[in-house]
Amino acid sequence: MYLAGLITGSWRLQLLYVAFVVLFFTVLEIRVLCRHCPFYSRGGSFLRCYANHGLPKLWSFQPRPANIWEKATLVLSFLLMGGTPILIELNGLAILHGPVSRQIYTGLTYASALAIVGFFTLLSVHFCPRCVNFSCPFNRTPRELRQKYLDRNPVMREAWASLD
């Protein structure tokens, strides 16, 4: 994305992207995802979890499952975070002249796409199958482990009882 800014001479898209990512992780994600997580119910005014440790709790804990709009917001936000860098880089590629520079930049764009796919694969293979935030649309915790967790957590069990 840095090279795209140098090539195009415009940094507007990159700045908007950075602003969105900061806003997402500090405000929006906490609203649509974190407040449904058991970690959010812990005492104190700051999150103590694997993903957003130290961020302020801006909303009250909601043990109920996330609604369709919250899930859609999360999925669309992840698509934006993963897709925008590629679109910005493709914009830079469209302006380049000369076969060698286009080939090099195409390789960098391809590497960026692989890094994004790798990141989401890492999450889905190593973190999503063990996550206690069952509201997340990406949660892959096996049903039997989910049930064992809910059996030990009466507040969550009651909120989730309507789903079984």
User: Mean pLDDT by 10-residue block, N- to C-terminus, for the chain (164 residues)?
Assistant: 84 94 94 92 88 90 92 96 91 80 86 93 92 91 91 85 64
The torsion angle over the Cα atoms of residues 149, 74, 46 and 159, rounded to 10 degrees, is -40
Please tell me the distance from the alpha carbon of residue 117 to that of residue 4, in angstroms, as a whole number.
Answer: 20
Q: Which of 114, 113, 136, 110 is nearest to 124 (CA)?
A: 136
- Contact between 49 and 127 under an 8 Å Cβ cutoff? The reply is no
What local confidence, expressed as pLDDT, does residue 20 receive?
97
Residue 49 backbone phi and psi in degrees, to 5? -150, 180
Please give the backbone phi and psi of residue 46, each rounded to the nearest 5 degrees, phi first: -125, 150
Q: What is the pLDDT of residue 90?
A: 87
Residue type at 100? V
* pLDDT given for residue 163 in this prediction: 60
Residue 116 CA, chain-centre distance (Å), reads 11
* pLDDT of amino acid 162: 65
